[in-house]
Amino acid sequence: MHTKKVTLKVFRFNAKTDYLPYYKTYELEVSDHEVMLDLLNRIKWEYDGSFSYRRSCRHGICGACGIKVNGKSILACKENAFEMTHLFGDELILEPQSKKRAIKDMIIDKSDFWAKHEAVTPYVVADIDEHPEHENQISQAQLAQMLDADYCIQCGACHYACPVIEVNDEFFGPAAFVAAYRFAIDSRDNATHERLKATAQMGQGVWDCVKCFECQEACPKDIAPIEKITRLHTMQFEHKVAVPNIATRHAEGFVRSIKKHGFLDEADIVVYSEGYLGMYKHLKTAYKMIKAGKIHWNDGLPWVDNVPKSKNLEEIAKLIEISQTNKL
């Protein structure tokens, strides 16, 4: 067994008594078999009984022990302490998932997370016989459709890593979208339509995601929330609940452009999704694109068509025709 001295700079705050948070330093002789949760336990048991954090299962299942180490979201019971020092050196900074929501040390107020989770109806809605004669099974193929969404443990790491959550209180967030997809794709469920409608609304829904991948980076279970967000986009079109807005028209603009030319018409996508007035917002970018030769100065004018046509256009148009699900 190897050991080494590790310096822990730990976020401390008691919302009842402290005006501002502060950091307290602890020096621990750490062994190579300890996980970060062991270090939290040792701070509490060996140094300060008032130190507070959440934990329950110690097996990466309950999602309670999510914290940040040097800014990286982790489950404290899953990450080996030595491996953390290999990543960040022998001084580790321990912080809660969201400092502005801290109640006591590592414990945060997760009420916004749970409210958004609840808003997507995170359970199977079905008219089920209370005394069934056999299990209500789904096939292997139907199970595969869930991808890894069913492995989410609601730890909140993705939610509190999401920049949109920080600026938009309405936004459901990546974990709620994973849950929405999980139950919307369940063949036993009867609330798919409502779930898709809720996640199609501007402000709260999937179209406000800026595809920054922070949620993907943060997830300790390696779930890919963006994949589920993209599936929800498609399902909304299939169920005809996608509502016309800049984001959905932008998505549709791609199809329209490919159908017409077999190539992407960058200027047309902007005009189609934002209109001629909206186009003025992008004049700076357009100028750079003209200089780089990506677009022509008169692209976007309705009577001008500068984009060449693919020699396989007919085949491309046919493929789009058979695969397209919905028009706004």
Contact between 65 and ligand FES by CB under 6 A: the answer reads: yes
- On the CB side of 12, CA atoms within 13 Å amount to 17
**Which residue stretches of 120-173 are H helix?**
140-145, 163-167
The region of 49-57, 248-256, 262-270, 296-304 touching ligand FES under the rule CB under 6 A is 49-57
In whole angstroms, give the CA distance from residue 156 to residue 220. Answer: 10
Q: Which two tokens stand for residue 164?
A: 């949109």
CB of 298 to ligand SF4, least distance (A): 35
CB of 63 to ligand FES, least distance (A): 5
62 binds, among ligand FES, ligand SF4, none (CB under 5 to 8 A by kind): ligand FES
- 3-class DSSP state for residue 107? strand
92 strand-pairing partners: 8
**164 phi and psi, to 5 degrees?**
-70, -35
CB of 66 to ligand FES, least distance (A): 8
In whole angstroms, give the CA distance from residue 159 to residue 97. Answer: 9
175 binds, among ligand FES, ligand SF4, none (CB under 5 to 8 A by kind): ligand SF4
Q: Which of 30, 74, 75, 81 binds ligand FES (CB under 6 A)?
A: 75
Contact between 157 and ligand FES by CB under 6 A: the answer reads: no
210 binds, among ligand FES, ligand SF4, none (CB under 5 to 8 A by kind): ligand SF4
The region of 18-26, 52-60, 101-109, 233-241 touching ligand FES under the rule CB under 6 A is 52-60
The footprint of ligand SF4 (CB under 6 A) covers: 152-158, 161-164, 174-175, 178, 209-215, 218-219, 221, 223, 225-226
CB of 221 to ligand SF4, least distance (A): 4
Contact between 63 and ligand FES by CB under 6 A: the answer reads: yes
* Residue 29 CB neighbour total at 10 angstroms: 9
Site for ligand FES in 253-282 (CB under 6 A): none
Give the helix/strand (H/E) hosting 195.
helix 192-200
Q: Which of 57, 126, 128, 319 binds ligand FES (CB under 6 A)?
A: 57
Going from the C-alpha of 308 to that of each of 257, 267, 312, the distances in angstroms are 11, 14, 12
Cβ neighbours for 323, distance < 8 A, ≥ 6 positions apart: none
Structural contact between residues 212 and 171, judged by C-beta atoms closer than 8 angstroms: no
CB of 95 to ligand FES, least distance (A): 16
Structural contact between residues 24 and 51, judged by C-beta atoms closer than 8 angstroms: no
CB of 76 to ligand FES, least distance (A): 6
Site for ligand FES, rule CB under 6 A: 55-58, 60-65, 75, 77
